[in-house]
A and B are shown apart, each in its own frame.
Chain A
Amino acid sequence: MSSAHTKTEHGHSTDHNYLNHGSGIWSWMTTLDHKRIGLMYFATVSTLFLIGGFFALGIRLHLAKFGATPLLEPDTYNKFMTFHGAIMVFMVIIPGIPAFLGNFILPIQLGAKDVAFPRLNLGSYYIFIAGAAIAASSMIFNQVDTGWTFYTPYSTAKTSNGVILLVLGAFTMGFSSILTGLNFIVTTHKLRAPGMTMDRIPLMIWALYSTSIIQILATPILAITLLLIGAEKTLGVGIFDPDLGGDPVLFQHFFWFYSHPAVYIMILPAMGVISELITAFSKKTIFGYRAIAYSSVAIAAVSFLVWGHHMFVSGQSTLAGIIFSIITMFVGVPTAIKLFNWISTMYRGTVTFEAPMLFALGFMFLFTIGGLTGVFLASTGMDVHFHDTYFVVAHFHYVMVGGTLMALMGGIFYWFPKMFGRMTSDLGGRISWVLIFTGFNVTFFPQFILGAMGMPRRYFDYLPEYTNLNQISTVGSWLIGLGFVVALITMIHGILKGEKAPDNPWGAKTLEWQTSSPPPHENFINTPTVTAGPYDFR
């Protein structure tokens, strides 16, 4: 593959592909093709992302306090904050990479014709839509102001019944998550191309596989917890209500038993994408394949044992805090392993800097900051000061948003040619990267300082000394917004007018690049046979 890196390599006939296999809206809505379902998730998640982003910009604009009158009423602010969090977590970051990129890529990377259960896959999509619709209806009726964590007894005793709609929506979307995970696990085990042993599957698959395990094991806990909130609110069962003998902190145990692993549902797939991007744009085989693969599984395993680090000041025992602290520290090790492996992959490679690679490098930068500040919070004595301050806000945005969204954007620009058979403008991608990357740092870095200064999160109003940093942060949020607008324009332009994509524009080695762009309906004309590892750049 000496010409692997060039963009002129000619592909198969693209007369017939999955995009024109059947036409009309009905053929999309009833499709069983994982690629089309992936794209439908893309459209849905992007729309939800714009809504969540609207709330984010509203929050930041309000907190900039330009002018004498506040932009939002306190209750409106609290609702903005709640919808921003709930939409971004449950409807964007969690499904973003697995349901969208995962659905599109996983079967092709495995050399399969589709996922193991195509009908279930389509069903999962509609369950997701139903959940999102139920949750969104709470924006219209009975708006919610609990924050996305729904802490009791505030959520059960002191606020509107809209909570029931929102948790029911999240509950429903949980099923979509579980079923997609199940589908991926079975597909990975059963539908690999001949010769693709488990130690030859791409690292993206390892990441999606580990994620799926978490989805299957943890999501039911969320489902039960959310049902209990509904039961508590409608029937007054008294599981969380102290007046009825319940324990409000019990809810936090339940909630974080799901939601901490969920953090890894968000970040593991991102790590999978990064592994693909780094090796493809370094034109070099990944360093330490096994270490990266197994560290994904290790992170998935440990993720179940650390939920209590959200509760160091909740009144749980000192001993419990200490135990959760030490286990949390263990997560740092497999994470560090991955970072070192990616960097070593670049060593003696031949690196190019197209837009997807820039996003991957941006991920490394932001994720390193997010990871290191996570150590601050894992340390009990330090966390007591930082707990529920802007330091936490900055930390999890660096990890979840800086990390996951950078990876998602990199993944979109990387696989875009495969999805649509057209290239995006590399300049457009780079400009959006500059804006988003700069914007993230301008928005969220000042928040570490605000947190150190003591500004608590979820505050409608704050002390005068926090003003300047908040205003800087708001300006950054506009840069991010602008960056996503540029990205959107670049993508739409690519779909409509982009240069025709070759089969393998990046000279990558995994199977999805060995079929045409866009792929035919069942991915490959002839089932590929695998004879080597996934990144065999010799």
Chain B
Amino acid sequence: MSWSSLIPATSFMPIQATEIAKEVDLLYAFLIIASLVSFVILIGGMTWFLIKFKRTSLDQKSAYITHNNFAEFLWSFIPLIIMMGIFYWGMVIFEKLRTPPEDIAAEIHVTAEQWAWTYRYANGKEFYSSANDPMIVPAGKATKLILTSKDVIHSFYVPAFRTKQDAVPGKLTQLWFEPKQPGEYIVFCTEYCGTKHSGMMIKIKAVPSEEYAAWYHAEKKGEDSPADLGKTLFAQKACASCHSVDGSRIVGPTMKGLFGSGRKFADGSQSKADENYLRESILVSSAKIVEGYPPAMPVFQGQLSDEDVANLIEYIKSIK
């Protein structure tokens, strides 16, 4: 859009590394223009009145004006309309920022701790963050992060992608992005987390997707992929005695095709089976009972580590 190029202030923003960054900046440019106009109306108007109605002699009298209903209606109603517009525009972008697309090229479990990030790929590649090990992701394709924290709340912020999500202990949150071009992008922690809060930086390195595929498959995997570890755990904890993996019904719902499906619960509510739902159901199964099944599953809270849970989730995801 041409009007947005009128505002050099967009150049204060970091580079636009994603499509969404462009959309955010367009709203930003609009907000700056709208703010400038409002500022000129308010402060310009005020300044004009101050000059025009400056007291020049001692016996001057002010006009006696108490109110004006029409003017007051207008300056209440017009801002309301503008605010609603800005709200709607922001909401549209927010939903895009918060809704990952269907086809995800890379899924990475990211665990924050004081003062580092660990990222683990679906095939078991794992990196304890440092400036030397950037998070490798494919350029031009969508990457989804599943975030959690070992200790306090951290926040994963990529200025170039205009996106940010807290990593909360005891909870899984998610973030997605699709870098347009190969390149290196800085990641900050933006939730205050103690001494080295400002030192908790990593880089995301977006590489061409063929290169990503080669990198992903070439180097040595971890001993077992998270899904493999999850499969072992699934057997150890005897999950299979209640949950089939082939679609047949036993005591509890089958794991086949579970991930991403819609769930209906005994209390009438519904949700989609995402990572956080699986996590909750594994740890505290009584939280949401799927309609038509007995509340029979034991509570695993306190028995499984965050990593165990993440592995199980990866295994469940793999049962398509």
A residues near B, CB below 8 A? 2, 5-6, 74-75, 78, 145-147, 151, 153-154, 157-159, 242-243, 245-249, 282-285, 287-291, 312-315, 318, 321-322, 325-326, 329-330, 332-333, 336-337, 339-341, 343-344, 346-353, 361, 364-365, 368-369, 372-373, 375-376, 378-385, 387-389, 449, 452-454, 456-463, 537-538
Q: Is the CB of B157 within 8 A of A456?
A: yes
Interface string of B44-58 (1 = CB under 8 A from A): 011001100111001
Interface string of B167-196 (1 = CB under 8 A from A): 011110100000000000010111111111
Measured CA separation A249–B163 after assembly (Å): 20
Measured CA separation A457–B198 after assembly (Å): 9
| 8 residue pairs, one from A and one from B, having the closest CB atoms | A242-B170, A381-B93, A454-B159, A379-B90, A380-B94, A348-B63, A284-B62, A459-B198
Q: Is the CB of A454 within 8 A of B14?
A: yes
Q: Which residue of B lies closest to A343 (CB)?
A: B46
Residues of B within 8 A of A333 (CB): 76, 79-80, 83
Residues of B within 8 A of A153 (CB): 151-153, 169
Q: Is the CB of A151 within 8 A of B76?
A: no
Q: Is the CB of B193 within 8 A of A154?
A: yes
Residues of B within 8 A of A332 (CB): 79, 83
* Partner-binding segment picked from B67-75, B127-135, B229-237: B67-75
Supposing A381-B97, A538-B64 touch, asked if A361 and B54 sit within 8 A by C-beta, the answer is no
Measured CA separation A463–B59 after assembly (Å): 60
Measured CA separation A537–B62 after assembly (Å): 8
Measured CA separation A326–B85 after assembly (Å): 10
Supposing A151-B192, A329-B86, A336-B75 touch, asked if A290 and B94 sit within 8 A by C-beta, the answer is no
Residues of B within 8 A of A344 (CB): 65, 68, 71
Supposing A282-B53, A350-B61, A379-B31 touch, asked if A389 and B190 sit within 8 A by C-beta, the answer is yes
A332 to B: closest C-beta gap in Å:
5
Q: Which residue of A lies closest to B86 (CB)?
A: A379
Residues of B within 8 A of A158 (CB): 114, 151-152, 194
25 A-B contacts (beta carbon < 8 Å): A6-B58, A75-B195, A78-B194, A78-B197, A146-B192, A151-B152, A151-B192, A243-B169, A249-B168, A287-B65, A318-B94, A322-B91, A325-B90, A330-B80, A332-B79, A332-B83, A336-B75, A340-B72, A350-B61, A368-B39, A376-B35, A381-B93, A385-B162, A454-B159, A458-B192
Among B80, B162, B163, B169: residue with most chain A CB under 10 A: B169
Residue in contact with B43 in the complex, picked from A146, A154, A365, A457, CB distance below 8 Å: A365
Residues of B within 8 A of A454 (CB): 14, 157, 159, 186, 188
Measured CA separation A343–B45 after assembly (Å): 7
Supposing A153-B152, A456-B190 touch, asked if A364 and B43 sit within 8 A by C-beta, the answer is yes
Residues of B within 8 A of A151 (CB): 152-153, 191-192
Q: Is the CB of A318 within 8 A of B83?
A: no
Residues of A within 8 A of B152 (CB): 151, 153-154, 157-158
Q: Which residue of B lies closest to A321 (CB)?
A: B94
Q: Is the CB of B192 within 8 A of A154?
A: yes
Q: Is the CB of A340 within 8 A of B75?
A: yes
A50 to B: closest C-beta gap in Å:
26
Residues of A within 8 A of B142 (CB): none
Measured CA separation A382–B20 after assembly (Å): 11
List 6 additional A-B contacts (Cβ < 8 Å) besides A154-B194, A282-B53, A315-B166. A325-B91, A343-B46, A349-B49, A381-B92, A384-B24, A388-B155
Residues of B within 8 A of A157 (CB): 151-152
Residues of B within 8 A of A285 (CB): 62, 64-66
Q: Is the CB of B90 within 8 A of A159?
A: no
Q: Is the CB of B169 within 8 A of A242?
A: yes
A381 to B: closest C-beta gap in Å:
3
Q: Is the CB of A313 within 8 A of B155?
A: yes
Q: Is the CB of B86 within 8 A of A315?
A: no
A284 to B: closest C-beta gap in Å:
4
Q: Is the CB of B62 within 8 A of A282?
A: yes
Q: Is the CB of A453 within 8 A of B87?
A: no
Measured CA separation A158–B98 after assembly (Å): 30
